[in-house]
Amino acid sequence: MTKEKIPQKIDSVPVSMPVAPNNLIGAMAPNAKPMVNNMMGYNAMPKQVAEQKMEAIDFNALKTKLEDFKKKVTKKYSFVTAMVLLAPQAAPLIEEDEQLPKEVVDSRPMHLVVLVPEEQYKEIPKIKPEILKLAKETKENIWVHIKTEVDLWNYGLDSKFDMLDIVSQGFPLFDKGFLGALRVASIHKTLVLRKFDKYVASYFMCGSLVRGTATADSDVDVFVVIDDTDVKRMNRMELLEKLRAMIYDYIREATALAGVKNILNVQVSLLTDFWQRVRDVEPVAFTFIRDGIPLYDRGVFIPWKLLLKMGKIKPSAEAIDLYMKQGDQTNEFVKRRLLDSMVDIYYGIVTPTQAMFMLAGETPPIPKVIAQEAKKILVDKYGLMGEKDLKILEKAVHLFKQYEYGKLKEFPGTDVDKFLKECLEYNKMLKQLRAKLEKKMQAKNAVELHSEIVKLLTIFFGKKPESTLFKMCEDNMIKKGKLQSRFSRVIREMKIVDKKAKEGKMSFMEFDSAKKDMLEFISALVEYGQRADIIKTSKGTMQIRYGNRTAELVLLGDKNFLIEGKDIKKIEGDKIVASTKEEFEKVLQENQGKLNTQISDKVFKVLEKTLGSFEIGF
């Protein structure tokens, strides 16, 4: 191992807690927010560590230098799980734990931990010389520690929680996912302890990570046990709910700080409740104790684990009876769930059937009478549903009524399978029915809208051929500005829409757009008719054309109105001001419907001042 040292830059470190270099934090989690200094989790570090001067290392630059070393190691030993450089502040801890010689400690090396799977434990004596050789070639002062994942878990079982922290929050050179998962749990633990450490009896990790079966994106499972034995100001459940909410809130923050995508699953339990589960050897609690690794413990979890290993934790007679009863209740549970399945299938038939009624423009019937209405509308009226499909709907309604009245006590699994198959076939039919119904309703709606437009034009221009009515609308309404010019396109496309709708060649979106245009055209014609009724007379009105716009001037003596589409204004003094339909009708009523046939020069001056150049028509 080389004795060359990295150029030193001396920084002072607070006595209370060693400071993690900012570049270390940034490299740990490239997308994470910077962590505060006391988030590094080096619990109970010796005072002399905090007091000694530390080297400030540019870990990002160092990572670049060690890139070739990492590639050689991982290529030759593909089973390597992770490689992590420990922060300088962690050196005294690992040097003491590993009992390194004084001359090595005095050389102040950087410590690199290489993790390998437990099954490769016997290979460590063979691979260590080669890795040391590769480390020496880097010309950096590096001390290599090769450990298995079990070695790390033993730190937790030996209550050396600070050792787990310094590894999890070191600078990763290489990671298959193990370090990231451990890091998010370690950060979450630190956040929780920082807020209310006196309430936390134990914080331990379990699941696939500690069993050695985790993948890079596996969930991280942790359990927090809350000490409720000395709670005076609130009851136990209030304490649990309050702390549980805060502990869950920290999940998002810990995940962001760790910069990982692993989902952190946290379970929270009161100490007294968990102890009862342990005493009863409840399977989940049993598994947690058997497989779990403490990241923090106040003398609770580790004694449980030891007692379990010694065979001292045995189920009580009450626990045995409780679990036996679970077997007796199985039949009832299954019957209940099979009945629930029948109800789910019932709604899977009835609800989409109601959607078909809505598509047909009908009010969706209540479930009790849906079968009768389906026969009336979908079978007899539109001829879209067959008798076979109707029987499935009738069966669903009948079964639910029997269930609702308490007459149906059970529904066997074979019946569930058969009913589910019928439901799937029924829904397949409904999808085909929907396509047919959409085409049928398109043709029907197209004919109705076309007919409505022709009917309105007949009111305006009298009974004439359709083509003549459309031409008169174009010449007398659209071109003269009484209706918007875009309605010319609606008139041109109406026959195309009719034809395509009847042939079923229009998409739902295409027809919906055409339908919207025709409805707007109908609305414009109705509004025009209403305006025409208001100012209906052969005298007392005149057309005012200005620019590309046309308005109606209604003469009512002292009060005269200018009407353009929905916009109603009145001439007041030497100005034209906004008015309303209600005000116009009130003035017209006061005049007993009589319009004035005389107009003063003053009105023309106001019009010219406001509108500019204009023409008069009658």
Q: What's the pLDDT tens digit per position in 550-586?
A: 888 888 777 788 888 778 888 888 888 899 888 888 8
- In the predicted structure, residue 161 carries a pLDDT above the cut 90: yes
Please name which of 92, 85, 99 lies closest in space to residue 28, comparing C-alpha atoms.
85
Domains of the chain: 1-176 (no CATH), 181-315 (3.30.460.10), 329-411 (no CATH), 441-534 (no CATH), 541-617 (no CATH)
CA distance 438 to 444: 10
- In angstroms, the CA 71 to CA 423 distance is 58
Query: SS3 for 592?
Result: coil
What tens digit of pLDDT does each residue of 322-379 get?
Answer: 667 777 778 888 989 999 999 999 999 999 999 988 888 788 889 889 999 999 988 8
The full length of the chain comes to 618
From CA 502, how far away is CA 496, in angstroms rounded?
Answer: 10
Q: In whole angstroms, what is the distance from residue 157 CA to residue 551 CA? A: 91
Contact by Cβ (8 Å): 225, 212: no
315: nearest Cα among 286, 337, 291: 286
Beta bridge partners of 614: none
Among 147, 177, 178, 184, residue whose Cα is nearest residue 163: 147
For residues 137 and 4, give the distance between their C-alpha atoms in angstroms, rounded to a whole number.
Answer: 12
Give yes or no for a contact between 220 and 264, defined as CB atoms under 8 angstroms apart: yes
- State the pLDDT at residue 349: 94
**pLDDT tens sequence across 95-126:** 999 999 999 899 999 899 999 998 888 889 99
What pLDDT, on a 0 to 100 scale, did the predictor assign at position 235?
Answer: 80
- Whole-model pTM above 0.75? no
- Kindly report, residue by residue over 24-64, the tens digit of the pLDDT: 333 334 443 333 333 333 343 333 333 333 345 666 777 78
Under 8 Å between Cβ of 370 and 349: no
CA triple 135-50-204, angle to 5 deg: 75
Handedness of CA 441, 444, 450, 455 (dihedral sign): negative
Q: Is the dihedral of CA 359, 360, 365, 371 positive or negative?
A: negative
Q: Is 308 exposed, middle or buried (0-12, 13-18, 19+ CB in 10 A)?
A: middle
* Whether the Cβ atoms of residue 6 and residue 58 lie closer than 8 Å to each other: no
Most confident of 3-17, 448-462, 541-555: 448-462
What span, in angstroms and rounded, lies between the C-alpha atoms of 267 and 281?
Answer: 18
